[in-house]
Amino acid sequence: AGLDSWSFDVFALNEASENHALKFVAFELLHKYNLINKFQISTNALESLLVQLEVGYSKYSNPYHNLMHAADVMQTCHMIMHLNNLRNWLTDLDAFALLFAAVIHDYEHTGTTNNFHISTASELAIVYNDRGVLENHHVSAVFRLMQQDEYNIVNNLEQAQFKEFRQMVIDMVLCTDMSLHFQQIKNMKTMITMPEDVDKTKALSLIVHCADIGHPAKKWSLHEQWTNMLCEEFFRQGDREKELNLPISPLCDRNTVVVPQSQLGFIDFIVEPSFQVLGDMIERIITPATPEDEKSIDVPTPPVPVVPRPWEECFDENKKAWAALTAEAKSKS
């Protein structure tokens, strides 16, 4: 399955490309959207930047927050746009900002959580005053990198374009902070009931956030691999917390965590409601609004476009699989 498929296999691509999935996906997608031409991106700078992004994503050898995750989130954002022709609603700059935010959103992730940074008073926690510690670092470090000419892929944007691009990217990446999750979902639910248009940056931020937590929305073979990788990363943090005599964070104790159960909870409580709101938001965006005074009896209202939601069958499949594993674990104990 290629880049235009909901079941795109980033693991297979990463193997075929010898651990360069990020470089391949990013180059392909920027090319596909004609953004390299549109914004006169130097291919040398792009190549250099993508190499640096891969280096940064590999810095801490994370099982989960690595270059495959970046490539996956970028491809998922593309799919959400692609499935719904959202490209027509977005400017070239919006599409560029969305894809760029997706690919950089976990740059130089330390493989530990914000809470771990805060409780260990890490360098990053000190720099960012315990607020969105990692998320601030991801964006800041990439913009700092692009201050060097050899990595600057935005040097041909006009001043106003760059200002808007930068603001959108910052907003999107900072919105991947899980501590903002419930507020973000609640705000969007409210926004789509209002007569005003959906705020573009908030819409794009929800797309990135859903893509970021979206592995349970993919087929089981992919979801299972991502789950194992994320659990291993959490457990390593738990091991460090044990060594430091810190309380072990939720989901981080390899001796007590029941993975199937925690995944079921994560899907039911976090991921599925997010994708529900995502689908509703897209419907609200692509449905042509009929002004009140035109709603006469004899004019048929245009049909509401159907938003494809390929994630729904995946949720069902994955929840069944986890439920079966939960039952299996119970029968053994």
Q: Which residues are annotated as a binding site?
A: 65-69, 105-106, 212, 263
| Residue 38, token pair as written in the block | 């549109």
Nearest to 313 by CA among 216, 197, 201: 216
Sequence-separated (6 or more) residues with CB below 8 Å from residue 194: none
DSSP character at residue 111: S
Question: Binding site for Zn(2+): residue ranges?
Answer: 69, 105-106, 212
- Distance from C-alpha of 330 to C-alpha of 209, rounded to nearest angstrom: 33
∠103-108-111 over CA atoms, to 5°?
Answer: 110
Question: Active site includes 117?
Answer: no
Catalytic residue among 20, 31, 65, 209: 65
| Residue 276, token pair as written in the block | 């529900």
Phi and psi angles of residue 158, each rounded to the nearest 5 degrees, phi first = -70, 160
Residue type, 169: V
Question: Binding site for AMP: residue ranges?
Answer: 65-69, 106, 212, 263
Residue where the block lists tokens 């908030």: 202
- Distance from C-alpha of 157 to C-alpha of 155, rounded to nearest angstrom: 6
Which residues are part of the catalytic machinery?
65
